[in-house]
Structure 1
Amino acid sequence: MAIENQNNKEDVLTRLDVAKTQLYHWKAVVVSGMGFFTDAYDLFCISLITKLLGRIYYTVQGSSKPGSLPPNVAAAVNGVALCGTLAGQLFFGWLGDKMGRKKVYGLTLMLMVVCSIGSALSFGSSPRAVMSTLCFFRFWLGFGIGGDYPLSATIMSEYATKKNRGSFIAAVFSMQGFGILTGGGVAMMVSHIFRRCFPAPAFSVNGVASTPPEADYVWRMILMFGALPAVLTYYWRMKMPETARYTALVAKDNEKACKDMSSVLKVDIEAPEKKQEENPGNSSGDLNSFGLFTKEFLRRHGLHLLGTTTTWFFVDVAFYSQNLFQKDIFTAIGWLPPAKSMSALEETFQIAKAQFLIALCGTFWGYFATCLLIEKIGRFKIQVIGFFFMTVFMFGLALPYHFWTLKRHHMGFVAMYALTFFFANFGPNSTTFIVPAEIFPARLRSTCHGISAASGKAGAIIGAFGFLYASQSQDKTKTDAGYPAGIGMRNSLLVLGGINILGLLCTFLVPEPKGKSLEEMSRENEVENKEPI
């Protein structure tokens, strides 16, 4: 009886692996990907408005020097969403295995909608109160974003065919690039409109830094836009059925799995007849149901989980510190003018333009290259290539740092900086998201992906807070343009290069899933093949 049930499950899963790519696959990519579009927009748009927040709420009255967020406030505003994301990845990753992927998928999206709007409406009678309210909503925004990581990756991996699984998961993750790009575009558009409607010189006649009152609407509109794609996606998420792999392997309902997949994939999968088990205690689920904290899991997947957590940790230290503080890097090398030479809206526009150009020229194409080549050269090689060239370019920026600043070779610096983003995304930033969704058992897949992703966010938090304080260690030497040479910035880039080397070494703990089914990679049939008849 158990063998018959096993054959029924294998029939469903085999049909899924060999099915032709159909419209529903692309619909799943878009529906899952729009969550990641929202995730990236919400996480990275904060870096576009932190300087504006400083000028609005922390400019000293009567001073000609533009205000800036105090270091502790800047750290909280930039990092609190990452803390929420870490918690959400662990919680929703576990919940996705306990309750099913679909049941909690819409909850994460609604949480993002409510908290995006709440962030934009942050209120208070003092600057500290406004920042506290903003941090509160951004924590819970991050909590919802965190749930999207394991659920989107797991759903796409379980829907996809064996031949195109890596490309489909990479396509979902590539929407992060569109989110970053859109964040820069929206910030440029909003700040430009307000700049034209409410023109202001860099300084008013009495020498006070110019920040028009209308600037307060700019950062709120930028944050609120993050709710729009989430609202538009909610209906289609609720229409998606549960994945057949969860239904068959975890919920043990082969009939429903066949019915769901027959309807959405347009393939003829005959549902097995329900028959009563003679020995329920010997079912395949009981024989192959080891938990996360067991010796059997450690034997089969312990090194794999160590590999996925460490590589994701190391890449996120570099990726998030670069993304969240690129405005500070560009100011330090002189690509962006100093704040005192611009009005608040002009500064916001220039920061958004810099992020938009980096995303357009480097970030976006890295995602595209991964989607195109991952099934040809494999996850392992892409990750090794990415870490290697990230290391090369980080050291290329850091070692001759004074050459880039003192000699005003700013565009060379920017070009190499963009290449680090290209190889992050044509490399470990993409593959660390893909692989954990492919190598663990179905009943633990979402949990293990959540743990791996949470490890990455721990790295992002360390990168965000560490880079913020390290980059403030400026020396007193001035470049010929009058900008600080930034020993702290140089040392930060050197540290990030060393971290990439560690990520490269940990890559050798991760297996290559290319060309293998999810069940083959997770070894879910290993015990089941030994079960008694």
Structure 2
Amino acid sequence: MLYKGSVQIKKVDSFTSTPRPQPQASPLEALDDTGKFINWRQARTLLISSTGFFTDAYDIFIINLVTPMLGYIYYKDDHNQMPSGIQGPFKGMVSFGQLVGQLTFGFLGDAFGRKSIYGLELLLIIIATINCATSASAVEGVGAVGFLGFWRFILGIGIGGDYPMSSTVASEWASTHNRGTMIAFIFSMQGVGQIVAALVTMILLAIFKGAVEDNVDNLDYVWRLCIGLGCIPAVATIYGRWTMPESPRYTVNVQHDSEGAPAAIAATETFRAKNRPCVSTPNLDDEEKSTTHEQRDQQQDDFVVVAQPETPVSNAPTSMIEYAESQSHLSGNNREPENASLASEKTVTTIHDENVLQPQKQRKTQKEIRRENIRDFVQHFRKWKNLKVLLGVSLCWFFMDIAFYGTNLNQALILSSMGFAPTDLGAWDTLFKQALGNLILAGLGSFPGYIMSVLTIERLGRKPIQFMGFLMVGALYIVLGAGWEPIQDASVALFIVIFAISQFFFNFGPNVTTFVLPAEVFPTRHRAKAHGIASASGKLGAIIATFAFNALADVGGPPGKRHFLPYVLIIFGVIMLISVIFTHWVPETKGRPLSDFES
């Protein structure tokens, strides 16, 4: 008879002993401990989420190239340009929709579960994209641009819903050491969407070159195809979203279902690897220490662990995670102690499944979750330490989107203003050079920035990348605005390079981290809502920027000349520098499991 601590270890006959039940590791622990490499379940999550986000980005940024085409078709009397008074609201419709979608789907995702909601946002995107591409003018009343604006609003609701849902799903399926990489990879599809939008536009313009030069109204085919092709990846992805299992973290932390989580990830190699015995061998003499691995395994099977029963009920596990982890140290068979005196000295009992202390929390129905959803949310964020984090991620995203969307949704105007794609070249030449300029900016600046974030976010951390991005973009925008004419007089190419560098630090910086951090710093029961609020704050900034950019750009000069554009860039630069302050309110999440943020 051997003792180790408060646990009695009894030698039994290996031929007559019944098989020892294998302790189950916590499924959430299994998710957190998969290491830096992505398993097949996480790869599937990445594919489904990132393909949908690619569609989102394509649909957002294609309007930057479509709007000039609409000017040649529907605004011939306005110098072939959509008036700034119309252009601002038109481009802002998708941002209005995103704001609504982010708030709505964020609350729905927490109230009904990830599985029930994930995929509905993509269905909205498909329906809205098809209707955008087929918008037409009524005989009397609303014109094609009006209908297009309406369906862009509906499209925005779907795109907005994808922000809290995709980020939350990816975060909750990821491990501690690859979570940032997974979420950043999904968001990096925004860069791919920008590049593909420019490439598709250039290809379609090349196909229709002769037709457009013969009759500029043939651009009507081009812009409809540019928009309509965006629904193809969404159609290819929607089935995968509808068939995804419920998030294990939502199952355990919100539904309090101890069986649902392992069922969701039972197919992963990582979880199977975690289901192994947690009993260590007793002290052996030197001869036994020299035995082979096979002999050690046999010796392990010759010992039965018998637990003490004195643990009071008050010390029972209070959460599903604690309960599951406690079971990883317990296993045994129904055996009586061989020595009564020893048994009286160290009281022991055997372990049966029915004797194991059950968690105090009972499984919740979705009705109960929905009933408690808002009340618990208010109570949680009534505390300043929690509210400060929500304000931090929201304000950083708000200020970042003012500058990001203010410039990215108006890149065609910026390129024309600095002489890269002047509007007096002719319709086809102007549109093709604008698409080429967008491709250059995305290829040289935006896309490499996304790649750097994906590769370094787990090494550098989220906050250092965000600090660096805000500082660099702020400084570069001020330089571009202050040196608008001198830089262009020296070289238009130099201006493009500096602007591309600013786009690089946007994406190797706050554009990625403001998406990643809200998916990590909140408890599971509020994660989608909080991410929805933070991203909606960003879209509020995008709406302000969309209207303000077009209104401010023409101040002090004739319409369409963008006389005030340099000062707009300076304003954006100052806003980026201010955002550094609010980054201090957000905790660093590098290397920290999501359980650290479960209040």
**Does the TM-score normalized on the shorter chain lie above 0.5?**
yes
Distance 1:48 1:181, change over 3 A: same
Report the AA paired with residue 195 of structure 1. Answer: K
Residue 463 of structure 1 pairs with residue 526 of structure 2? no
CA contact (8 A) 1:32 1:152 kept: yes
The aligned counterpart of 2:169 is: 155
Partner of residue 324, structure 1: 409
Instruction: Output the amino acid matched with 1:220.
Output: R
User: Which has the larger share of helix?
Assistant: 1
Q: 1:282 to 1:153 in 2, by over 3 A?
A: closer
2:95 and 2:156 in contact (8 A); partners too:
yes
- The answer to whether the Cα contact below 8 Å between 1:333 and 1:404 also exists between their aligned partners in 2 is no
- The residue aligned with 1:54 is 71
Using structure 1 for the length normalisation, give the TM-score: 0.87
In the superposition, relative to structure 1, how do residues 422 and 10 fare at CA in structure 2: closer, same or farther (>3 Å)?
Answer: farther
Counterpart Cα distance in 2 of 1:264 and 1:133: 47
Q: Distance in 1 between matches of 2:363 and 2:540?
A: 41
1:71 and 2:84 correspond? yes
Shift of 1:22: 1.1
Matches for 1:315-354 after TM superposition, within 5 Å: 315-337=400-422, 339-343=423-427, 345-354=428-437
Instruction: Report the Cα distance in structure 1 between the residues aligned to 2:470 and 2:431, rounded to whole angstroms.
Output: 32
How far apart in 2 are the matches of 1:227 and 1:359?
21
Pairing partner for 1:398 from 481, 494, 497: 481
Question: Partners of 2:106 and 2:380 in 1: how far apart?
Answer: 21
Contact kept? 1:90, 1:450, Cα under 8 Å: yes
SS in 2 for 1:293: helix
State the alpha-carbon separation in 2 of the partners of residues 160 and 351 from structure 1: 39
Whether 1:494 aligns to 2:570 is yes
Within a 5 Å distance, the mapping from 1:234-313 to structure 2 comes to 234-264=238-268, 267-268=271-272, 291-294=376-379, 297-313=382-398
Q: How far apart are residue 281 of structure 1 and its match?
A: 8.7
Amino acid of the structure 2 residue aligned with 1:115: A
Residues in 1 aligned to 2:24 and 2:584: alpha-carbon distance in whole angstroms: 32
Task: Give CA-to-partner distance per residue, 1:417-440, whole Å, 9 cap, x none.
Answer: 111110010000000000000010
| Alpha-carbon distance, 1:125 to partner | 3.3
Q: Quick one: distance in 2 between partners of 1:278 and 1:114?
A: 45
Larger Rg computed on CA atoms = 2
- Return the letter of the residue paired with 1:83: F
Quick check: 1:172 aligned with 2:186? yes
Deviation, structure 1 residue 515: 0.5
- Structure 2 CA distance for partners of 1:199 and 1:462, relative to 1, 3 Å: closer
- Residue identity opposite 2:93 in structure 1: V
Which secondary structure state, in structure 2, belongs to the residue aligned with residue 454 of structure 1?
helix
Q: Which amino acid is the alignment partner of residue 212 of structure 1?
A: V
- Given the alignment, which residue of 43, 53, 74 partners 1:36? 53
CA contact (8 A) 1:73 1:131 kept: no
Instruction: Choose the corresponding residue for 1:373, options 440, 449, 456.
Output: 456
Specify the alignment match of 1:16 in structure 2: 31
Aligned-partner residue type, residue 50 of structure 1 = T
CA distance in 2 between partners of 1:83 and 1:469 (Å): 18
CA distance in 1, matches of 2:268, 2:357: 28
Q: Which runs of 5+ in 1 are unaligned?
A: 1-7, 202-210, 477-482, 525-533
2:383 match: secondary structure:
helix
Provide the rounded CA distance (Å) in 2 between the counterparts of 1:411 and 1:109: 39
Contact 1:472/1:488 (8 A) holds in 2: yes
1:523 Cα shift?
Answer: 3.8
- In structure 2, what is the equivalent of residue 130 of structure 1? 144
Count of residue correspondences:
491
- Matched residue, 2:113: 100
Residue of structure 2 in register with 1:3 after alignment: none
In structure 2, the CA distance between the partners of 1:415 and 1:280, relative to structure 1 (3 Å rule), is closer
TM-superposed deviation, 1:361: 0.6
Q: What do the CA deviations read for 1:227-270 (whole angstroms, capped 9, x no partner)?
A: 11100111211221111000111111110111111124552266
For residue 488 of structure 1, report the CA deviation from its aligned partner: 0.6
1:12 CA drift (Å): 1.8
Structure 1 residues 12 and 278, CA gap change in structure 2 (3 angstroms): closer
* Aligned match of 1:186: 200
Q: Which runs of 5+ in 2 are unaligned?
A: 1-22, 276-323, 328-352
Q: Give me the whole-angstrom Cα distance separating, in 1, the residues matched to 2:468 and 2:97.
A: 31
Task: Tell me by how many angstroms 1:279 deviates.
Answer: 6.1
Aligned residue type for 1:44? F
Q: Equivalent residue of 1:177, what SS? A: helix
2:528 corresponding residue in structure 1: 446
Which of the residues 497, 519, 537 maps onto 1:415? 497
* Displacement of 1:386: 0.4
Residue 278 of structure 1 and its aligned partner are, at CA, apart by 8.9
Q: Distance in 2 between matches of 1:52 and 1:282?
A: 56
Q: 1 CA distance for matches of 2:362 and 2:168?
A: 29
Q: Counterparts of 1:446 and 1:280 in 2: how far apart (Å)?
A: 23
Structure 1 stretch displaced more, 498-507 or 268-277? 268-277
- 1:195 touches 1:346 (CA, 8 Å); kept in 2? no
- How much identity, in percent, do the aligned residues show? 36
Residue 223 (str. 1) matches residue 232 (str. 2):
no
- Give RMSD over aligned pairs: 2.6
Deviation at 1:105, TM superposition (A): 1.1
Counterpart of 1:449 in structure 2: which amino acid?
Answer: H
State the distance in 1 between where 2:384 and 2:553 align: 42
Equivalent of 1:428 in 506, 510, 522:
510
Amino acid at match of 1:419: I
Shift of 1:10: 8.3
Q: 1:282 to 1:48 in 2, by over 3 A?
A: closer
Q: Give distance in 1, aligned partners of 2:363 and 2:198.
A: 57
The 1:487/1:293 distance shift into structure 2, 3 A limit, reads: same
Distance (Å, rounded) in 1 between the aligned partners of 2:511 and 2:410: 17
Matches of 2:151 and 2:507 in 1, distance apart? 29
Instruction: For 2:440 and 2:86, locate their aligned partners in 1 and report how far apart those are by CA, in whole Å.
Output: 28
**Does residue 141 of the first structure (1) align with residue 152 of the second (2)?**
no
Q: Give yes or no for contact 2:420–2:433 (8 Å, CA) kept in 1.
A: no
4+ residue stretches of structure 1 with deviation over 3 A?
A: 125-128, 269-283
Q: In 1, Cα distance between the equivalents of 2:218 and 2:71?
A: 15
Q: Which residue of 2 aligns with 1:507?
A: 583
